[in-house]
Amino acid sequence: MSGPGGIGALVDPSSVVVIGASERPSIGRSVVENLQLMGYGGAVVPVNPRYESVLGLECRPSIDEVEIEPDVVVFCVGAGRVLETYRRLPEAGAAAAVIFDGGFAEAGPEGRRRQAEIDAINREASIALCGPNCMGLLNPARRSGAYAQLIHDPAQLPGNVALVAQSGSICIGMMSDTRRFGFSVIVSSGNEAAVTTADYIDFLVDDPATRVIATFTETVADPERYVAALDRAAAAGKPVVALKVGRNERTRRAITSHTGGLATGTRVMSEVLRAHGAIEVGGLDELTEVLAVGQGRRWPAGNRVSVVTASGGLAELLLDSAPAAGVELPPLSAADRAAIEAAMGPVSGDGNPLDAWGKGQFMDNFPRALEVLAASSDSDAVVFPNDAFDGQPMGGPGDILAFTRLLAASAEAADKPHFQLNTRPGLMHRDQANALAEAGVATVAGLRQGLEAIARVARFTRWRPTPPLDPIPSLGLVSDLLEAGPRPTVHEHDAKRVLAAYGIAVTAERLVAGPDDLGEAAAEIGFPLAVKAVSDAIAHRSDAGLVITGVTDMDDLERAYRLIVERLAGLGDLGSGAGVLVQEMITDGVEVFAGVSTDETFGPTVSFGLGGTAVELIDDTALRVLPLRTGDAAAMIDEIRAAPLLKGFRSRPPADVEALIGCIEALAGLAWAERDHLAEIDLNPILVRPQGRGCVVADALIVPRPRFREEGGDGDE
């Protein structure tokens, strides 16, 4: 990553040198022609030994003959010819560069060697590089850029959306439709060998032309800087609308614990975006509609929406669709209902959505309905569903624009946002959308997409950062357990010693050296008991019949012990540390699990859900990225569908949720404190006992980081 000055020169250059500029149709021509079409006011210097001039500009034979220190040097040549000139950029005084061609880190050993040399030059000379393997940049707000595709109508591009996409085709697709919003900056970032998405976000937070930042991301190269940039954007009131793809293409590492199977990259990325105030979307349609909502003069302060329609059927469809979209449709208050009925007669249903057709006098009823809904304290936004399309066969232009004038007048007089909603994606009447935009009214398309977009922006306006919990000092216990040598896992008994030291309640238990120890163990702990094998080599013992529960007397205990020993013997050499554990068996409480996993990009995460052997089959879990923040543990418990089981369900007493919150927070603190040695922790089950009786971990497993699992580990993760 280069410094801010380099990125500034890249995004807003005062001079551009084009290596490989050409008169013939090519990228080398498009870059120069684009600058001329946009009316770029800086210096443009074509470089190509085969031309004396390009598009009327004097051409230099090489960068050595360029008389200025360029802000940006643009490479319109193949990968094999880039290095020859790139090595001379520091001497030329270049602040930034753009490489369009591929053939670098994504293209095998030779490409990686090329990119490594470029990386070294960038670091030494603080050069901000866009790419390689990209389409480049455009800055419509300042009429500058270095973009590979020819612009046919630059006047359509300017707006307040900054787009940063690792895919060039996404940039092309997004720029193909500027009916509702234009762009302040467009970046096709490619391989992100030097300047990353995080760097661009950080720069755009301070860009006065940018109101909303959209990103299309395949990989996050610098997670710490990425989350810091998200935090800066949220604090500045600039939403980052993120579409993350490619999350399921990563090579899956071996999963040892249940938690590791639950905390996928997809879920972790979603949690990072939520925790840092970004707006996640699942597709280009959702991305587009959130950007459209962002064009409104006012943004919704909450997700309560008042809808006025001319159709009872559409009102019913909206009632069906709103909950899944995250939108509330509060019924009309008695006062608002009386005010509307005084003007248009009886209102059907609870009045939201409001069918203002009445007896057919919709044009009379509509403005009165808008007046009441806009003034109501029971909603945060007013939505008018109204399908219209350029060249439609039904309804004349005068009728279409009549609705527009009434909606615009209401929006300009109100202090809450108004939206026009086309119920199907793709519908748009350009004159109508433009007239509404002048009044600060955003037009959204698609019933689901439009309502979801309103709800997402409302969540952004309500989002506030929460501080992390105070860190727990590391006791170094996991590293102590690994001093004697590598361990594939840390078995239950040793894992529980670590948990107990960090204040997490665990079952009473005893390792027995032989059958003579059984009586003393039973007397110490008391029946009923569980008998288990412990071994670092066996992560999931139930599958091998190495857990026997419900032991109620000495005869049962002796039989269980013999059976466990026989089964262990049948498994061959399990190494040192294998043995038999006699353990307290708790018979009351709700079974839940909590666990820690390590994401390859964002590091440790904690998961929570119902416990038991089917935990991976039941998709009912909550997840947070560490360090845990204030209120996270309580929120995780409330998020799962099975939360009512903990609050007292039917005849069951309420469980000790406060103790469970403390357990999750302590687990998260332990995982963060000892994260250099931990890969995974599995607490399953945790028995949450009736209120006031606490919760107890009945089974536990710790998985060390890969370098601590095998002899001769080289430290690679």
**Length of the chain counted residue by residue:** 717
Q: For residues 594-622, b (16+ Cβ closer than 10 Å) or e, as one string?
A: bbbbbbebbbbbbbbbbbeeebeeeeebb
- 138: Cα within 13 Å, side-chain hemisphere: 35
* Each residue's pLDDT tens digit, 501-518: 999 999 999 999 999 999
- 615 and 542 in contact (C-beta within 8 Å)? no
Give the tokens for residue 662. 């403390």
Summarize pLDDT for 194-227 with one digit per residue, the tens.
999 999 999 999 999 999 999 999 889 899 999 9
Query: For residue 548, what pLDDT band results from cuts at 50, 70 and 90?
Result: very high
Across the chain, how many H-helices and E-strands are there? 24, 29
CA distance 621 to 703: 21
Determine what percent of the chain is predicted with pLDDT higher than 70. Answer: 95
Alpha-carbon gap, residue 261 to 172, rounded angstroms: 37
Q: Are the beta carbons of 205 and 181 closer than 8 angstroms?
A: no
**Confidence band, pLDDT 50/70/90 cuts, at residue 643:** very high
3-class secondary structure, 352: coil
Backbone angles phi, psi at 60, to 5 degrees: -100, 150
Q: Which residues pair with 530 in a beta bridge?
A: 583
Per-residue DSSP letter, 104: S
4-245, what's its fold? Rossmann fold (3.40.50)
**pLDDT at residue 1 tops 50:** no
pLDDT score of 251 = 32
Between β-strands 547-551 and 509-512, what pairing exists: parallel, antiparallel or unpaired?
unpaired
| 436 Cβ contact list (under 8 Å, min separation 6) | 404, 407, 408, 411, 420, 442, 443
More confident residue, 680 or 396: 680
CATH of domain 467-505+586-717: 3.30.470.20
For the chain, the domains span 4-245, 305-462, 467-505+586-717, 508-584
> Would you say residue 4 has pLDDT above 80?
no
Q: Residue 262: is it exposed, middle or buried by C-beta count within 10 angstroms (0-12/13-18/19+)?
A: buried
* Widest CA span in the chain: 100
The region of weakest confidence among 254-268, 274-288, 552-566 is: 254-268
Report domain 305-462's class: alpha beta
* Residues 388, 393, 399, 404, Cα dihedral to 10°: 20
For the stretch 646-674, pLDDT in tens is: 988 777 899 999 999 999 999 999 999 99
- pLDDT confidence band for 613 (50 / 70 / 90): low
What is the average pLDDT across 386-399?
Answer: 84
Which CATH number fits the domain 508-584, given the four candidates 3.30.1490.20, 2.60.40.420, 3.40.50.2020, 3.60.130.10?
A: 3.30.1490.20
CA angle 281, 144, 122 (to 5 degrees): 80
Residue type, 282: G
Cα dist from 499 to 44, 131, 477, 694, 702, whole Å: 65, 47, 10, 15, 10
Residue 381's H or E segment, with its range, is strand 381-385
What phi, psi does 53 have (nearest 5°)?
A: -150, 155
Confidence of residue 255 (pLDDT cuts 50, 70, 90): very low
The answer to whether the 4-245 and 508-584 domains have the same CATH topology is: no
Q: What is the per-residue DSSP string for 446-485?
A: SHHHHHHHHHHHHHHHH----PBPPPPPP--HHHHHTTTS
Torsion, Cα 301 303 306 310, to 10 degrees, reads: 130
CB hemisphere CA count around 170 (13 angstroms): 24
